[in-house]
Amino acid sequence: MTDMIRISLQPDVAAEKWGKKVSLTPTAEGFQIHLDSKQPARSIQKAARQLDGLGIEQVELSGDGWTLELQWAFYLGFTSAKKLNGVQWYGEEATQLQQLASCFGWARQITNQTPEQLSPEALAHEAIEFLTPLAPDSISHRVIRGEELLTEGWVGIHGVGRGSERPPVMLVLDYNPTGNADAPIDAVLVGKGITFDSGGYSIKPSESMSYMKCDMGGAATVAAALGLAIQKGLSHRVQLVLCCAENLISGHAYKLGDILTYKNGTTVEILNTDAEGRLVLADGLLYASETGAPLIIDAATLTGAAMVALGNDYNALFALDTALQQRALGYANLVQEPTWPLPLAPWHQQQCPSPYADTANSRPIKGGGSGGASNAAGFLSRFVPEGGKGWLHFDLAAAFNSSNTGLWAAGATGMGIRAIAETLRQEAGKV
């Protein structure tokens, strides 16, 4: 016997004395979850949220029926910003579950940190310290900082971050398990790392700005996805590019009407300083293009429009390579991370016109106007090679919740990590 609170699964509905549609009832050793046969994982996650609400710190999963996915659903519901552990796994899948928990726990903890704790440079070094121990002989890195960015032509990261006293950085981390310094790079992951987004001169209202510590969620997601893939035996060379900056207001901040000229010659007029994520990602995508990698995946908490379209339950996936997009949707479904395709066509590149530059970074309409998520993806498509072949863009609508819900505690969720890790494992080295 143990004093640990035990959680078991019960396929039958709760007895009438507990009320209607009750999913959680007590037992002699803890609690039992009454499964909804139509959506078992969702019912378990909801029940786990109720247990967290009781103030329970640690539980042991026991009894029959606990598959990997059902145990993982429990973990997602039970954990919170203040409690990233506390689940004792059941059965032979404990190692896999612990790998997941270590990657999700890192990404959630980093994303939930305060803006004061997590500067752009600190974010880069946190990623280095998380990933390097996973494969110390196979990982090297370079941090490009402050004015070095401008010297090397990374005008988007520099422009967005120059208003802060804490310098912007680009992290390039190289995972090369081949031992061959000349091995081809099979994939590049690019993450938006805006450690705080005030909106700049297009300043956000307080109710929107209060949780903008989460705007580096894309960087956390791709770093954690790489970590998960490494733990699962990734054997291909992959580079990670994090585009890190604080978007603040000062006498040195970038302004509406400024024009940035990117390394590929594309000129961009700034019509909204709060559409900064696409500006930093453009640099990351250009770097990825220069490597010649046949697979490029970027992830970002990029647009409110994706959340309007999909809510907080699905991440949006954009691609011009529709065959790759369909395979990636299949990988996301395999690991049960809700992901939905939104429209992207070549003509979306023209949806933010400028009389002074090749394009603007947004439209001079509140929220960027209709189709904002597709227009942002169209902007990014200007910076990838071969008409978008081999490129995927995840707009992480489900990566963060500003308040508690029936499925999630407030804060980062980690949604997107498994889908990207599985896509990387399945697609890297195919070409």
Active site residues: 204, 278
Find where tokens 């489900």 sit. Answer: 398
Q: What is the largest CA-CA distance in the chain?
A: 74
Phi, psi angle pair for 192, to nearest 5° = -75, 125
Partners of 25 in the β-ladder: 32
What count of other Cβ atoms lies within 10 Å of the Cβ of residue 64?
Answer: 9
Partners of 26 in the β-ladder: 31
HEC readout, 96-107? HHHHHHHHHHHH
Find where tokens 């709060």 sit. Answer: 274
Q: Answer yes or no: are the C-beta atoms of 173 and 243 closer than 8 Å.
A: no
Structure tokens at 377: 């993806």
Q: Which of 171, 175, 169, 170 is nearest to 140 (CA)?
A: 175
Phi, psi angle pair for 250, to nearest 5° = -165, 180
Q: How far apart are CA 309 and CA 344, in angstroms?
A: 14
HEC readout, 122-183? HHHHHHHHHHHHHCCCCEEEEEEECHHHHHCCCHHHHHHHCCCCCCCEEEEEEECCCCCCCC
Partners of 307 in the β-ladder: none
β-pair type (169-175, 238-247): antiparallel
In Å, how far are 4, 50, 77, 211, 407 from 53, measured between CA atoms?
17, 5, 10, 22, 12
Q: How far apart are CA 200 and CA 233, in angstroms?
A: 42
β-pair type (400-401, 411-412): antiparallel
